[in-house]
Structure 1
Amino acid sequence: MSGMKIGELARCAGVTIKAVRYYESLGLVTPRRLANGYRDYTEDDARLVREIRTLSSLGIPVERTRPFLACLAAGRQHADDCPESLAGYREAVDELTERIEALTARRAVLMQHLRQAAYRNSGVPLPGGEEREGREEHEGHEEREEHEEYGEHPMSDLHRLPENLPVPEDDGAADHLPGLKVPRIELPSTTGEKVGIHTLGTGRTVVYVYPLTGRPDADLSHGWDAIPGARGCTAEACDFRDHHHELLAAGAQGVFGLSSQDTAYQREVVERLRLPFAMLSDPRLSLAAALDLPTFTFDGATLFKRLTLVIRDEAIEHVFYPVFPPNEHARQVLAWLRDNPAE
């Protein structure tokens, strides 16, 4: 095609008229002039403009497209068939690498500031930080003293439940569980060991199952609070922490938390909240599959619905479902243990 005007060239090459004029001002495109002074563009000019557009979309500045255009002008089939073009690619890659490294470093600093501020304002120690000094002083204290200590901390939003949370309804999804034998499943624990659900012993063990716990430095996903029974995992863990000694005194030989989150994530929660019990990780929801436990889907992930199992002699003795409010649930379990002493 020949004899194109600037508007036709722009449409053909997929750019604006202003862009074509800019390329001309740089000497990248040099149309011939007709007798009447109008510019006359050819298909070769359109090919050059299309090449400039393509290279620009890759992040190569317009001024540095000259080697590629020269390669086409030399009769090569492709603009990057020449050594100079390859050098242009390498230069662009090196610059992007430098920018990525600089942005990555900036992001790391911002994340550090975010974590420090979030954990500082939540009143809990930053994992691995100096704020954890003196933690050993609290270990071995009586539960009453530990509870008073935690009560002195200013709590973050994760610890407090928003008002007017939707109350979960009993949909009957756990009615079949009492009396069932527990499956032969081993799950990784935050202690570094594997715990067999079927080897918890002959006494009572409390396993509270929860969807997921948040962190002070990460916002809760939009819509989470609107799901009945979803919000409150941190508050529930703290309630079991604060009443752990009483639960044991009332006949529970052990307490475990269980979710589909990985062990590394759970270990941070155990350390941050100073939980006196271990968490079990079930990322494949194997316990849900074996016992037909209720689950729900959020953001493309399948999560456990909140419930608590009292396991005794390798069987489920009692089930709490639905659980609400989660920040008082350990006390609900404690009341049941006291009202139903083991023979």
Structure 2
Amino acid sequence: MRIAELARRTAVTPKAIRYYETLGLLRPERGANGYREYQEHHVRIVTEIRELAASGIGPGKARPFVDCLHAGHEHGDDCVTSLAVYRDGIAELDRMIATLTARRTELIRRLDEGAGRTFSQESTMSDFTTLPAGLPIPDDDGAAAHLPGLAVPELTLSASDGERVAFGGFGPGRTIVYLYPLTGRPGVDLPDGWDAIPGARGCSTEACDFRDHFAELRAAGADRVFGLSSQDTGYQAEVVARLRLPFTMLSDPDFVLGDALRLPSFAAEGQERLYSRLTLVLRGGRIEHVFYPIFPPNTHAQQVLDWLRANPLG
């Protein structure tokens, strides 16, 4: 077969195949016309190299696996020399993880020091960048499929700064409204079984992610950003101050927006109804885009930012 056929069957580029040849991993024969001629065993070799690269073992370290196949083994890692490459790769990852963990610890220390100097209401900033391991991932139950294209209802909600926000009057620009169940307070227990509810945990991490990407969101075309939950305005104002949010939070204790748009919600211990985590992109009086379900919440603002950059106005 010719190089184009080999590339097609192995999902790599002809350039990559030529690179493998320069490394001595492939040795095609030459036909009478001077063209490279590849055989079926070359398909297996190139596939092995590609799969190794996907797991972090580059072509430069693939020779033991290729030699193992040349020796007649069914798998490239049937030989002890190949297993040694695995061990070396794991050791290298361990070193990288240790280095990154040390850097992260140092950044958290600096964050705490900086927050302690500039924000008197909290001596140190909590680590809102991570979530507990093993949280259940919410499924897309279709509860938001009807929202794109709907008109924004004419209603007014109270904001954390004491103002009233008219939902139908945002104008032609884009407004980001992220809805969430509730934010916890330091020293106050969350509802029993909170971490077992898919999509419930992570409201503070989500707020901090929108805080940290706020300037970028504005630069990417978001005229306004709001957080919204059913908690009262006093609760929302405390969250804005404690997390130093550069945007206001809206309060909808009567679920007037949820009823108008038939938004998804759920119940928890001591809470008959809470908003499910969902983000609306509003533009020109209509819902332009919806993010639902959302997971993980601590990187959701980056997801919204990526969408804004991929779908610029104009």
Using the size of structure 2 for normalisation, the TM-score is 0.61
Alpha-carbon offset, residue 219 of structure 1: 2.1
* Greater C-alpha Rg: 1
In structure 1, how many angstroms separate the alpha carbons of the residues matched to 2:227 and 2:216?
17
Alpha-carbon offset, residue 204 of structure 1: 0.2
Report Cα offsets for 1:113-171 as digits up to 9, x if no partner: xxxxxxxxx9699xxxxx988449xxxxxxxxxxxxx9xx5535x65310010000000
The aligned residue for residue 305 of structure 1 is 276
In structure 1, how many angstroms separate the alpha carbons of the residues matched to 2:118 and 2:312?
38
User: What are the within-5 Å matches in structure 2 for residues 212-251 of structure 1?
Assistant: 212-251=182-221
Mark the runs of 5 or more structure 2 residues left unpaired by the alignment.
1-110
> How many aligned positions are there?
202
User: What are the within-5 Å matches in structure 2 for residues 143-162 of structure 1?
Assistant: 155-156=126-127, 160-162=130-132
Report Cα offsets for 1:276-317 as digits up to 9, x if no partner: 000000000110000000000112420000000000001000
Q: CA RMSD in A?
A: 2.5
1:329 equivalent in alignment to 2:300: yes
User: What are the within-5 Å matches in structure 2 for residues 135-146 of structure 1?
Assistant: 135=119
User: What are the within-5 Å matches in structure 2 for residues 45-194 of structure 1?
Assistant: 134-135=118-119, 155-156=126-127, 160-194=130-164
Task: Specify the SS of the correspondent of 1:188.
Answer: strand
In structure 2, how many angstroms separate the alpha carbons of the residues matched to 1:295 and 1:183?
18
The aligned residue for residue 339 of structure 1 is 310
1:262 equivalent in alignment to 2:232: yes
Is the contact between residue 124 and residue 273 of structure 1 (CA under 8 Å) also seen in structure 2? no
In structure 2, how many angstroms separate the alpha carbons of the residues matched to 1:270 and 1:216?
14
Task: Specify the SS of the correspondent of 2:217.
Answer: helix
Identity within the alignment, %: 60
In structure 2, how many angstroms separate the alpha carbons of the residues matched to 1:282 and 1:272?
20
The amino acid of 1:273's aligned partner reads: L
The amino acid of 2:145's aligned partner reads: D
The amino acid of 2:283's aligned partner reads: R
The aligned residue for residue 95 of structure 2 is none
Runs of 4+, deviation exceeding 6 Å: none
In structure 2, how many angstroms separate the alpha carbons of the residues matched to 1:289 and 1:169?
22
In structure 1, how many angstroms separate the alpha carbons of the residues matched to 2:213 and 2:305?
8
Distance 1:256 1:124, change over 3 A: farther
Task: Specify the SS of the correspondent of 2:223.
Answer: strand
In structure 1, how many angstroms separate the alpha carbons of the residues matched to 2:117 and 2:252?
32
